[in-house]
Every structure is written in C-alpha cells, then in structure tokens.
A and B are shown apart, each in its own frame.
Chain A
Amino acid sequence: MDSNRLSGPLADPAGEAGYPSDHPDRVGFFTDTSVCIGCKACEVACKEWNLLPEDGLDLTGMSYDNTGALGATTWRHVAFVEQHGSTGSTVDLGMPGMGEDQVRWLMSSDVCKHCTHAACLDVCPTGALIRTEYGTVLVQDDVCNGCGYCVPACPYGVIDIRPDTGGAAKCTMCQDRLGAGLMPACATACPTESIQYGPLDELRDRAGQRVAELHDQGITEARLYGHDPADGVGGDGAFFLLLDEPEVYGLPPDPVVTTRDLPSMWRHAAGAALTAAAVIVGCFVGGKR
C-alpha cells in the first residue's frame, strides 16, 4: 500500500482513483459563514432536489436549530450558535434589543466534506462508496448493503443509515446536476453566496483573499477550516470560513482519517494473533494431560 493512498496531501484524488487524465477538475464547496444569514434555503433546496423526506417538526429546544445535525436525510445542516457576552465582533442585525447582554449569532451551513482521504470510502467493504470523476465521494445506493461501517468511520459524523431504505446516505454534491453542467442545488439557492461552488483550487484562492479581507477589517477571528491539504484527511472538498473555533459549530478541531493508522493496526493484530497461537501451543507443550 502506497502511503499516499491512505493519508497525506494528494493533488488529484480522481486521477488516483483511476480516472483518465482528462477527467474534470476537482470541484468543491467553500462555505463562507461570515455572510450566512441562517435562512436555510440550502437545506430546503437540497431536500427538494434530492427528494429527501422532511425530518419532522421535532424542535431541539436549543437555539433556532430544528434539525440539529447532518444526517441521512439532512445533507445540508445550518447550525445556529448563540453566544452571550463579548465573544468577538458582532454585527447589528436590527434585532430587538436584549438589554445590556451582547449577543452574537454565528450561522454555518454544514455538509459532507468530500474528504481527500475519505474514511467512509476507505472502510466500505462492498465498494458502494466511490470517488467520482469530480473528486467527490458518492454512495451507490444499489451496491450499499447497509452494514453501517462508514457511519462511525467518518471523522466528521456526516454519513448515516436511512431508516426507510436501510442504506447509507449523505450529500452527493448533486452528482446528477454536475453531469448536466449545473451547480449543486444548495449553492444555487443560497441568497448571500455563503455557499460557493467551483473548482477547488479556485475556491481556495478565493477563500484566502476573503480571510485577508476580513483580517484587514479587524475581524481577526476569521479562519479557514478544512482547506489545508496537509491536514488529517488530506484536505476537504468542502471547506469553511469560520468566525470561532470549529468545535463551537459542532465540527471536530483536528479530524484524522483513521485508515492512516491501518498498517500499524494490522501489525498489532498480526502480533496479537501470533501471540495467541504461541500461547495455545505453549499450553500444550510439556504439561500434564
């Protein structure tokens, strides 16, 4: 196993997965949360286009977030973070006053990260999860056997099993739209261009400029998340501009594709198996009946 197949920077995931060199550019999402207004147009557009069932009116009882997390039928999830006290820059949203208490709203539309080294894809035993020609990660519904291995493997807690079909499901980056030359439904619907879609390299450049711009405006807490090809998953196909630490938005601070440690895991397993064999043989040698 070439170590680059399991972790580390990888310039061309689609090419590495065997697509000929004339495959399309790797595409992705850049979600700029600094302009997100929490309208949930993306969540709705995603459900409409992908024919996903509604999640019910099960209010979570925390902030204005009714869906709570990404799931098998929520492929875009808008997190609403309500922060009290002076935690960085606030923007006057024209909301009714709430006394002296400073309130800051952070909103962020989360999605499958389409990881460069996708743990879900690595561990899938059936080959149901594949890398597409666009460098994204896709579940083939007809191949998935619902074993659920991808679910705990994902370091971002994205993919899940749909109770109605028994199969794994997550964002497809609207594979069917990409083939027709369209943008994913969420990016099309977003009124503030918080969700930007395009070739990943371009998005990374644009994101770098946007952070610099915000820093110049004194918003020093602006930072990118998931953009670095040298991170634990080889960089995300969907990355973010955040205004606070990732964990505040429900994102893991330093996710790692655990397959990175697979050679070491198998070495330990082999060592343990040999130990078991040696112990058993030893119990038969030289003892009484």
Chain B
Amino acid sequence: MKRGDRLMVPEAEFRSYYGRPVLKRPVWKVPDVPAYLYLGGLAGASSTMALCADLTGRRRLARSGRLAAAVGATASVGALIHDLGRPARFLNMLRVLKPTSPLSVGSWILAPFSALSGAGAASEITGRLPALGRAAATTAGVIAPAMTTYTAVLLADTAVPGWHAAYRELPFLFAGSAVSSAGAVGMLAAPAESGPARRMAVAGAALEFAAGRSMHQRTGLVGEVYRQGRAGAAWRAARVLTGLGAGAALFAGRSRPAVIVSGLCLTAGAVATRYAIFEAGRASVSDPRYTVVPQRDRLDARR
C-alpha cells in the first residue's frame, strides 16, 4: 500500500494509522535467510539419512549423506554469518545459552552439529580416523532431526502474523521439506542405493503437503499471505516443483534422466518453499490488516 492512501482502506471493516504497518519488517535478507533455512534442513535430514544408510550397509548413500550434511551445515552457518555481517557475530551468539531465544537454542544446535558433521565428512574424504569419524557422524545423525525443525520455531516466535499464526504446522512443513530435499540429494549422488532416498523424497513431500494444507485451513485471514503476491507465486511454484519431483521419484525407478529431473525439481521446490514462507511473513507485516483484524476480533470476542 502506498503512503497516505488511507481512503483505500474500507473504514467500516478495519481502521489503521494511515494504512501504515503496525509492526517492523524483519531486517533479515534474501537470499541469506531463505538459504539458511533450506540448507539447515537439508543438512539435518541428510545426516540422519547417512546414519541409517551406514547402519544398513549402504556405503555410497552414507557417504553422500555425510558430505551433504557437512556442506549444508557449513553453508548454513555461512549464510547466517553473511546476514549478520561478521563471523565474530556468530561466535557472539554462543556467549550465552538462552532457553527463551530460539536463535540462541538454534545456534547451540547448529554449532555442534556442523562441527560433528564436518568431522564425519572430513574422515569420510580422507579415510583417516574412521572410527572417530563414524562416531562423529553418528552423533550428528542423532541430533540432526532438531536441525530440520528449529528454524520453524525461530520464525514462529515473532509477532509476524504470517509466521506466528502457523506455529503448529511450520515445524512439520519444514521437516517434510527437509526429508524430501535430502532424498533428492541421495537419489542424485548414490543411484545404485537410491531406494530409501526415493522413498524419502516421496514421503517428505507428502508430509510437507499435508502440513501446508492444514496450515491453510487453520490460519484464516492471515493465511491469505501464502496465496497472494510474490509469496503466493513462490508457494505455487514450490507445490508444482515438489509434486513433479515426488512423482518422478515414485515412477522413475532408476532411469537416470528421470532421477536427475526429480532431484532438481525437489531441490528447487524446497528452496521455493522456504522463500515463500519468508516472503509471506514479510507481506503479513507490511499490511496492517493482518495485525489489526485478528487482534480486534480476539478483543471483541472477549468483550
């Protein structure tokens, strides 16, 4: 909404201060933060995939999972640091552990996870200290599921209407998206052992779709921001890409071109999902309607 065009706002429905936002827009940047969200999820699910592959004797898949976990976690830290501006600021995050701050808790999940998965991958590549490397990768694989969902709490614990309203579904959406992203990487990197990875691609996408659906149904007026504008376009693109990717994973078998198309679609879909959620939050802040109307309804209902 442009400055000052107060008359565009239907007076009877809701009032605001000249249509100006009530809340401050998140200062987090694109692509840093959507990338951070995607990479963290990918790293987490890949690490658990690697652990399961290791335990079931799928060496190639375990190796790919460990590498994806390390690269994803490191790049996720990198994206966070880029958003913060200086590496020292990431270390500053670790000066206290604050249970009321999802970013503090998240940093304490991310830091050890990236160290462990980095160690696991280093041992995998160099072949040195295999026992230690395996122990590190195993530990990472156990804490990894937390990597797939803490970022959902990070977004949801804000006054941003589009995020907070969806706090029940966002973790499941992120978890599903992370599982299918890791599945995509597994399919691409370990074709001979890709059965579980293909199943992950499909199951993760199904979880993501279910969570997204229930989010739409439950968030009411605020849910509009996931359907409109840029966020809506990215969201629809994500649905199409993830759907195509999962479909291809289901029916492609081991056909190499189909696997490649599937992996790329799923990856692009997961990135688009994160961007859509980020953008929907920003859109919900920019229009005071999403702040004022639900609160006014709540207030009126209490009176």
Distance, CA A279 to CA B4, complexed state (A): 51
Asked if B149 lies at the interface with its beta carbon under 8 angstroms from chain A, I say yes
Total residues of chain B contacting the partner, CB 8 A: 85
Chain A residues with CB below 8 A from B299, complex form:
253-254
A261 at the interface (CB under 8 A from B): yes
Q: How many residue pairs bridge A and B at CB < 8 Å?
A: 244
- Name the A residues within 8 Å of B197 (CB-CB): 283
Interface size class of A (residues with CB under 8 A): 35 or more
Complex contacts, B195 vs chain A, CB 8 Å: 287-289
Q: Is B222 an interface residue (CB 8 A)?
A: no
Contacts of A152 in B (CB 8 A): 23-26, 158-160, 281, 285
Residue of A153, A262, A264, A269 touching B149 (CB-CB under 8 A): A269
Q: Counting CB contacts under 8 A, is B283 at the interface? A: no
* Nearest-CB residue, chain A, relative to B108: A125
CB neighbours of B259 from chain A (8 A): none
For A161, give its contact among B27, B100, B157, B168 (CB under 8 Å). Answer: B27
Chain B residues near A146 (CB-CB < 8 A): 84-85, 89
**CA A243 to CA B33, docked complex, whole Å:** 41
Beta-carbon contact of B84 and A276 below 8 Å: no
Residues of chain B in range 51-70 having any CB-CB distance to chain A below 8 Å: 52-53, 55-56, 58
Q: Name the A residues within 8 Å of B44 (CB-CB).
A: 276
Q: A146-B89, A262-B157 are in contact. List 11 more A-B contacts (CB 8 A).
A: A5-B100, A62-B4, A123-B103, A147-B103, A152-B159, A152-B160, A157-B23, A258-B159, A268-B168, A273-B148, A287-B195
Residues of B within 8 A of A (CB): 3-4, 6, 14-18, 20-28, 44-45, 48-49, 52-53, 55-56, 58, 83-85, 89, 92-93, 95-96, 98-104, 107, 145-146, 148-150, 152-153, 156-160, 164, 167-168, 171-172, 174-176, 178-179, 182-183, 192-193, 195-197, 199-200, 203-204, 207, 281, 285, 288, 291-292, 295-296, 298-299
Instruction: Give the B-binding residues of A (Cβ under 8 A).
Output: 1, 5-6, 60-63, 65, 68-69, 79, 81, 119, 122-127, 143, 145-149, 151-161, 166, 245, 247-256, 258-259, 261-262, 264-266, 268-277, 279-284, 287-289
